[in-house]
Amino acid sequence: MTDSKTPDISSPVLVVGGGLSGIATALGLALKGRASIVLESSDLLGGAAAYSGGMIWAAANHVMRNQGIEDSLELGESYVRGIAYAHPELLDEAAMRRWLEVSPEAMEYWEQAGAIEWEIIPELADYHSDAPGALPLGRYLTNAVIDGSELGEWRDRIRVSPNFPVGMTYAEMNVKGRRSSSVAAEEDLEIANHAGVPAFGRAGSNDGAVSADSDPLTFGTGVFAAFLARALREPLIDIRLSTPVTDLLVDGQGAVVGARVKAEQGEQELHGPVVLATSTYDWNPDLVREFLGLEPEDFSSLAPTSIQGDGISMARRAGAAVAVIPATSVPMVPGWSSHAPTGVSNGPEYALPHCMMVDTSGKRFCDDSYWVQIVKHAIGDEPRHLPFFLIWDEQHHEKYGLGLTPPGGAYPEEFVFSADTLAELGDKLGIDGDELEKTAFRFSESARVGQDPEFGRGSVEFVQRFCGDPKHEPNPVLGPIEKAPFYGTRLKFVGTGIGSSGIRIDGDGHVLNESGEPISGLFAAGSVAALTTMGSGYNSGFALGRGLALAYLIADELTRA
């Protein structure tokens, strides 16, 4: 057993989960001389991280410093504190300060170790631009492009994001708009498939042209690939795919001393300290019900289906406390049923011009281009606005399409309803049609002048830049709904592997029991741990950023003799 006074650092650390936090932890351990076994349940590495946007938020980071962008830990702290205002009691002050302080150091460390080549994501402001300490640029980092060939035979063992135009950079996407970029990337993939280029991933070059000998990886796929490429050079890391951990081994004093795994050759017990990096509970309906109060018809996820809350359940059985963040503060985005592999699609379509969201009364209920407000009101208002619907017109259809349907394409009839009038559409969807017509009329009047006095759609800079149509004027997210036919679909909330609720940890990644004491031998990195570090506020990039900071801290502790 590992004794806290004289730790035995010769045994391998068991890292559970081969996503970003897991691979980064294993890399950190190897760089300081300790072996690890990465146990991954699925046959692919990367987890939700490889599906993600690859935005990593770090206040006062070294890249900003090098480029002369002013920031400070104090400003970063006022921002995090400012956006946690809804439930200040949920914010773990000590953990927040530890995270903010260690983030810049950790990001610089990973770069110096050759795990990543940071770039600032251009033109991207903090979500809540009116919060104290918010900055218009600099805190979002991502990896410069990495070529898939650096992964050698592991290239076809990583997940590639179906949610972002992998191969394209943020700068390129900003010019084209996110929706147009995604549609273009789908087309590139089609061409690549026909050309006999490996269909895995986006085999397109940065200018969108397909090339058989270039395999640029960007967004979360690129960030993960960069860490993995570096980790693969370390002989102290043993990565085992298709090896789910089913339970933790606990000794008579309550310390975690190992893990039980289901390997090809049957059940096995492995011994050593355990780092849980299994992410959230998106594909576990019982935990979704417990933490979010949502039934399967109102919830799905963009995260891989291997993310089933295992780490949370195992840690609970070993005596860990769970922290619950209110569902109204959980980062979830609106999505719709589709023929995508997980049965659900999501994209910026709901925040593009010529569409709006309503509940069954036919009325809007919030800034329906901004997921923070949508979650807050759809779930938080009394009564709730569930079910809720996306309503759009032919202009939206022609310009943007929806999910797998390209602009002007035919929507799947089983999911998308259409009608020549909004009243008729309302009847088909179970919405008050008369009210829907009135709502669309008011919405269109506002959209024409580019302002939404009722709910402020189009006023959030992050949404304009990340989701809007850069070519649409006067406002990239506001356009009238007036051209028949009209369309509608029922929406559901879609998790993104950021469940907010999860295992309670301290600022160093120690898993805590119900008395707030660390459980010896048990650590957690990444989104398996509750986001008490940031309380109830969220900004894109917090999840991956905290994961990398925790990986750095845990690896450091587990290599100190």
Ligand X SMILES: Cc1cc2nc3c(=O)[nH]c(=O)nc-3n(C[C@H](O)[C@H](O)[C@H](O)COP(=O)(O)OP(=O)(O)OC[C@H]3O[C@@H](n4cnc5c(N)ncnc54)[C@H](O)[C@@H]3O)c2cc1C
Instruction: Give the footprint of ligand X on residues 429-468 (CB under 6 A).
Output: none
Return the residue of 27, 48, 356, 390 that touches ligand X, per CB under 6 A. 48
Residue 307 sits in the site that holds ligand X (CB under 6 A): yes
> Which of residues 13, 27, 37, 49 is near ligand X by CB under 6 A?
49
Binding segment for ligand X among 37-45, 177-185, 247-255, 385-393 (CB under 6 A)? 37-45
Which CB atom, from 528 or from 558, has the smaller least distance to ligand X? 528
Report the run of H or E that residue 80 belongs to, with start and end: helix 73-83
Interface with ligand X in residues 163-182 (CB under 6 A)? 163
Amino acid (1-letter code) at residue 559: T
Helix (H) or strand (E) holding 37: strand 36-39
CA torsion, points 291, 293, 296, 302, in degrees to nearest 10? Answer: -50
Nearer to ligand X, 326 or 347 (CB): 347
The CA–CA distances, whole Å, from 559 to 11, 31, 168, 367, 394 equal: 11, 10, 38, 48, 60
The residues facing 120 across adjacent strands are 141
Q: Longest Cα pair distance anywhere in the chain, in angstroms?
A: 75
Q: Which is nearer to ligand X, 255 or 534 (CB)?
A: 534
For ligand X, the binding residue among 28, 31, 36, 47 (CB under 6 A) is: 47
Piece in contact with ligand X (CB under 6 A), picked from 41-49, 128-136, 143-151, 458-466: 41-49
Nearer to ligand X by Cβ, of 22 and 334: the residue is 22
CB of 56 to ligand X, least distance (A): 6
Residues 431, 190: Cα–Cα separation, whole Å: 38
Sign of the dihedral defined by the CA atoms of residues 98, 100, 103, 104, in that order: negative
Instruction: For residue 433, give the 3-state DSSP assignment.
Output: helix
Tokens of 174: 């900003």
Q: Cβ closer to ligand X: 431 or 529?
A: 529
* Stretch 229-258: interaction string toward ligand X, x if CB under 6 A: ---------------xx-------------
Does the protein bind ligand X through residue 20 (CB under 6 A)? yes
| Minimal distance, residue 91 CB to ligand X, in Å | 18
H/E segment holding residue 334: strand 332-337
Distance CA 144, CA 391 (A): 38
Task: Please choose, out of 33-41, 62-70, 74-82, 374-382, the segment that lies near ligand X by the rule CB under 6 A.
Answer: 33-41
Q: Does the footprint of ligand X cover residue 41 (CB under 6 A)?
A: yes
Q: How many CA atoms lie within 13 A of 466 on its CB side?
A: 19
- Residue from 55, 95, 96, 257 that binds ligand X (CB under 6 A)? 55
The residue number whose beta carbon is nearest to ligand X equals 19
Q: Which is nearer to ligand X, 385 or 546 (CB)?
A: 546
Closest distance between ligand X and the C-beta of residue 545, in Å?
Answer: 6
277 lies in the binding site for ligand X (CB under 6 A):
yes
Rounded CA gap, 53 and 143, in Å?
11
Confirm or reject binding of residue 502 to ligand X (CB under 6 A). Answer: no
475 or 540: whose CB is closer to ligand X? 540
User: Is residue 303 part of the contact set for ligand X (CB under 6 A)?
Assistant: yes
Q: How far apart are CA 292 and CA 296, in angstroms?
A: 11
Q: The tokens 């008050």 sit on which residue? A: 432
For residues 559 and 392, give the distance between their C-alpha atoms in angstroms, rounded to a whole number: 56
Judge contact between 321 and 340, C-beta under 8 A. Answer: no
CB atoms within 10 A of CB 70: 10
Which residues does 492 contact at the CB level (< 8 Å), separation at least 6?
297, 298, 299, 300, 334, 335, 336, 337, 344
Contacts with ligand X by CB under 6 A: the residue count is 44
Interface residues for ligand X in 215-234 (CB under 6 A)?
A: 220
CB-nearer residue toward ligand X: 225 or 436 = 225
Residue owning tokens 């990337």: 185
Q: Find out whether the peptide bond into 474 is cis, omega within 30 degrees of 0.
A: yes
- CA-CA distance, 15 to 110, in Å (whole number)? 18
Residues of span 481-500 touching ligand X by CB under 6 A: 496-498
Q: State which of positions 508-547 bind ligand X (CB under 6 A).
A: 526-528, 540-545, 547
Q: Which is nearer to ligand X, 42 or 182 (CB)?
A: 42
Q: Which residues bind ligand X (CB under 6 A)?
A: 16-22, 39-42, 47-49, 51-55, 163, 220, 244-245, 277-279, 302-303, 306-307, 310, 496-498, 526-528, 540-545, 547
